[in-house]
Structure 1
Amino acid sequence: MFLSRLLEPVKAAAREAGETLWQMYQSGDVQYSQKADDSPVTSADYAANQIIIDRLSELTPDIPIISEESSLVPLVQRQDWPRYWLIDPMDGTQEFVARSGDFAVSIALVEHGWPALGVIFWPKEQICYYATRGNGAFKQHRNLINHIKVRQHLQGEPLRIAVSRRQPLERINALLASDQQVEFIPLGSCSLKSCLVAEGGADCYLRLGPTGEWDTGAVHIIVEEAGGKILDSQFSPLSYNRRESLANPDFMVMGQSNVGWQSLIQAHSGCRS
């Protein structure tokens, strides 16, 4: 009941932040800068961040918030939190800058170290993906809501892999079994590629390169409720709020559970702690 009461207000907050991002995207009235790690950040990121923090603080004033665009609380202060909000106000800032439109708002509630509620809003398409623990995953396009499930991959079919437009495919090919036929599906933000797996548009998504826990929190519960899994490159579960850094290892978003993923995708030692 607690999660169900939160869901609609969180969806509303994600939509409000997403509509602000879209207005700024269309107007072009945006300031650009670089973070210390050379990744881009914009005034749109900060505007969406403030909207989400304001709405969540009103909704649940006793639940702390971790955001990509806010100062990180030291592990010693947060490691015993029973629950917290984990947000990325704009997943896909590079796509915003490149004008592809493939960016999204991501909001997750993490309980006892595991995502329990997730909402992804894609402003360009007016699509909201969402899930709560034990209640399935859904895709809402305006007023039309559909229950989503991962794709049933058939033996002998090409493996449909969601990939970034900005990542060399050679790195992905190096992880695949040599005889595996593949079809690459390019898309923008990390969360949107994960949701593509959740709704059956792709069989898997291999993420190589830096991400944060805010990039996977919301989609983790959506993918799992749709019947898939997110595992690191050693086929181990991701973890949340256990390290001083919130950096993720390389990870894989995998659809149908009875596919022999470990024979199709080679584990590698590129994980970061």
Structure 2
Amino acid sequence: MHALEMLEDVKVIAQKAGHAILEIYQHKDYEQFSKDDNSPVTTADYASNDVLMTELEELYPDIPIISEETAHVSLNARKNWQRYWLLDPMDGTQEFISRSGDFAVCIALVENGWPVMGIIYWPIKDSFYYAVAGHGAYKQTDKGITRLAVAHRQPDEPIRFAVSRVQKLTTLTQYLKSERPTEFIKLGSCSLKSCFVAEGKADCYLRVGPTGEWDTGAPHVIVEEAGGRILDSEFNGLSYNQRETFDNPDFMVLGEQSIGWRDIIKPHRTERDI
């Protein structure tokens, strides 16, 4: 079955998972735990994961699943997978905890090592960002569906960077080398910042710090179908299902491709062992 034929059913599943999170969020009734890397995880993450795993396995029993919140499959067991789901049941757990509302459900379908469908559901806004490779990227709200496109910027206009609410700004600005004016837009989850680039509300998102392939899978196809690119911190392409670990390098989400990004951003090697 082509990804385009699966799109609407998977959007329904993403929304169900988002509603499971929202039910917990609204009642402020959850438990919080720490993972091995000291990052937070909550019962809302697990509730969303349960919905996604159950629904996807029922509809598509022949497609394996990789999720941030389940036991990870060894590279040897998955290296020959032609197709699999890549899930982040709740991107923005810290935003859930701080009650900013900037958290999202992310579902990607990866085929032959590359994301071909991405769905991001923002529960607080009851809105979707989604794309299928070769068929454009879209945003869906209660007002309808609009096609996404990165913003076109004039040379004298400031570059707008989507940035974290909690990360120190110097973590980002140390990698900027241009005299061009900049603006900073504070937002929550990794996926939503990427989507802001895709819809032209920001021009760039630099991610410095640990992430997994599930953080970029769904945004990757959305951003690229909107005319942007996601590259690692040395301006190389990302990869999927190629390593034993799912850890990403630092990466950048770039909007309009005519902008001289190499004149604005200093490449750097990720210091983590990935």
Q: What is the TM-score with the length of structure 2 in the denominator?
A: 0.98
CA distance in 2, matches of 1:258, 1:216: 23
* 1:145-191 Cα distance to aligned partner (Å, 9 max, x none): 00010010110111000000011101211111141211000000000
CA distance in 2, matches of 1:269, 1:73: 27
Listed as ranges, the matches of 1:15-54 within 5 Å are 15-54=15-54
On the 8 A contact 2:93/2:103 being kept in 1, the answer is yes
- What residue number does 1:121 align with? 121
- What residue number does 1:111 align with? 111
On the 8 A contact 1:233/1:271 being kept in 2, the answer is no
CA 1:36 to 1:81, structure 2 compared with 1: closer, same or farther past 3 Å? Answer: same
Secondary structure at the counterpart of residue 247 of structure 1? coil
Letter of the 1:81 partner, please give it.
W
On the 8 A contact 2:178/2:263 being kept in 1, the answer is no
Letter of the 2:162 partner, please give it.
A
CA distance in 2, matches of 1:84, 1:166: 33
- Identity rate, percent: 56
Per the TM alignment, residue 59 of structure 1 is displaced from its structure 2 partner at its CA by 1.4
Per the TM alignment, residue 3 of structure 1 is displaced from its structure 2 partner at its CA by 1.1
CA distance in 1, matches of 2:129, 2:24: 22
Secondary structure at the counterpart of residue 195 of structure 1? helix
CA distance in 2, matches of 1:179, 1:52: 45
Listed as ranges, the matches of 1:1-273 within 5 Å are 2-142=2-142, 144-270=144-270, 272=272, 273=274
Runs in 1 of length 4+ with deviation above 3 angstroms? none
* 1:245-270 Cα distance to aligned partner (Å, 9 max, x none): 00000000000111100011110122
* 1:172-229 Cα distance to aligned partner (Å, 9 max, x none): 1111114121100000000000000000000000000000000000000000000000
On the 8 A contact 1:232/1:271 being kept in 2, the answer is no
Q: Give the aligned CA root-mean-square deviation in angstroms.
A: 0.9
CA distance in 1, matches of 2:32, 2:267: 37
CA distance in 1, matches of 2:114, 2:136: 16
Per the TM alignment, residue 271 of structure 1 is displaced from its structure 2 partner at its CA by 5.2
CA 1:181 to 1:201, structure 2 compared with 1: closer, same or farther past 3 Å? Answer: same
Per the TM alignment, residue 94 of structure 1 is displaced from its structure 2 partner at its CA by 0.5
In structure 2, runs of 5+ residues without a counterpart are none
Secondary structure at the counterpart of residue 231 of structure 1? strand
CA distance in 1, matches of 2:196, 2:117: 18
CA distance in 2, matches of 1:149, 1:5: 23
CA distance in 2, matches of 1:155, 1:173: 20
Secondary structure at the counterpart of residue 175 of structure 2? coil
Letter of the 1:221 partner, please give it.
V
Secondary structure at the counterpart of residue 124 of structure 1? helix
Per the TM alignment, residue 143 of structure 1 is displaced from its structure 2 partner at its CA by 5.5
